[in-house]
C-alpha cells in the first residue's frame, strides 16, 4: 500500500471509529475530565521529595497519586561509582534520560555509556543495571510506568544509614516484583 492509500484507509478508519455507537461503545468525557482522573501539575526544578535510596539520591517529581498511577518520575543525582546492580522488574518499564555526566547502562546484555541527551529504555522482564562512570556527579531523569515503584523507594530510604543489609534490600525489592540477577 502506498502512502496515499494508507492515508485514505487510516483516515476512513479513524472517521468511522469516531462515529458513536457504530463500531465501539461510546464513552463521553466532559471538557475537563481526563482518562485517568489526574490533575495537571507543574513541578519546579527545586521541588520534589528527596530520598536517599542506598546512595542513589532521588528527587521524586511525579508519583502515582499525581498521575492516576500511570507513571512515576524522579531525578537521580548520583556520585561516581554509585549504581544499581543487574536486576529485573516484573511490573514496570523504565526510561533513563541522562542530563549530566556519564552513565554506563546494561540493558538485555548490551552495555553502553550514555552521556547528556542520551536515553535508554528498559522494558519489564529484561535484565538491566546502571552505574555512574567518569569523575563527575551524574544527573539522570528516570521514569517508570505504571507507577508503584515509588513505594519501594520510600521503604528502602527508611533503612538505617551505613552499609545496607542486602537480605533486607532483596526482600523489599521482591515485594515489589524486582529480583537481582
Is 21 inside any structural domain?
Answer: no
What number is the average pLDDT over the span 156-168? 94
Number of separate domains in the chain: 1
Is 100 inside any structural domain?
Answer: yes
- Structure confidence at residue 38 (pLDDT): 86
pLDDT at 170 over 90: yes
What number is the average pLDDT over the span 137-161? 97
In terms of DSSP H, where are the helices of 103-148?
none
Is 28 inside any structural domain?
Answer: no
- Structure confidence at residue 33 (pLDDT): 42
Q: What percent of the chain has pLDDT over 90?
A: 76
Is 81 inside any structural domain?
Answer: yes
Is 24 inside any structural domain?
Answer: no
Between CA 17 and CA 63 the distance in angstroms is: 33
What number is the average pLDDT over the span 3-15? 51
pLDDT at 162 over 70: yes
Q: What confidence tens digit (pLDDT) does each residue in 13-54 have?
A: 444 444 444 344 444 434 444 455 789 999 999 999 999 999
Between CA 144 and CA 96 the distance in angstroms is: 9
Buried b (16+ CB within 10 A) or exposed e, 106-116: bbeeeeeebee
Average pLDDT of the chain, as a whole number: 87
The boundaries of the domain holding residue 85 are 49-180
CATH number, position 161: 2.60.120.10
Q: Is 66 exposed, middle or buried (0-12, 13-18, 19+ CB in 10 A)?
A: buried
> How many Cα neighbours within 13 Å face the side chain of 122?
28
Contact 153, 59 (CB under 8 A): no
The number of beta carbons lying within 10 Å of the beta carbon of residue 168 is 13
- Structure confidence at residue 31 (pLDDT): 41
Is 103 inside any structural domain?
Answer: yes
Is 154 inside any structural domain?
Answer: yes
Query: What confidence tier does 2 reach under pLDDT thresholds 50, 70, 90?
Result: low
Q: How far out from the chain centre does Cα 94 lie? A: 4
pLDDT at 55 over 60: yes
pLDDT at 108 over 60: yes
Is 30 inside any structural domain?
Answer: no
Amino acid at each position: 500500500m502506498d502512502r496515499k492509500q494508507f492515508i485514505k484507509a487510516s483516515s476512513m478508519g479513524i472517521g468511522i471509529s469516531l462515529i458513536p455507537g457504530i463500531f465501539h461503545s461510546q464513552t463521553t468525557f466532559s471538557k475537563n475530565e481526563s482518562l485517568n482522573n489526574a490533575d495537571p501539575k507543574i513541578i519546579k526544578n527545586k521541588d520534589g521529595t528527596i530520598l536517599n535510596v542506598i546512595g542513589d539520591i532521588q528527587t521524586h517529581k511525579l508519583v502515582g497519586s499525581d498521575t492516576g498511577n500511570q507513571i512515576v518520575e524522579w531525578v537521580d543525582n548520583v556520585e561516581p561509582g554509585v549504581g544499581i546492580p543487574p536486576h529485573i522488574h516484573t511490573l514496570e518499564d523504565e526510561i533513563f534520560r541522562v542530563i549530566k555526566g556519564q552513565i554506563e547502562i546494561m540493558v538485555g546484555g548490551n552495555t553502553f555509556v550514555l552521556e547528556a541527551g542520551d536515553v535508554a529504555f528498559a522494558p519489564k522482564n529484561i535484565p538491566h543495571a546502571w552505574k555512574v562512570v567518569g569523575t563527575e556527579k551524574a544527573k539522570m531523569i528516570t521514569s517508570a510506568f505504571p507507577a508503584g515503584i515509588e513505594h519501594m523507594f520510600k521503604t528502602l530510604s527508611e533503612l538505617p544509614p551505613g552499609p545496607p543489609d542486602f537480605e533486607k534490600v532483596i526482600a523489599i525489592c521482591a515485594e515489589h516484583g524486582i529480583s537481582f540477577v
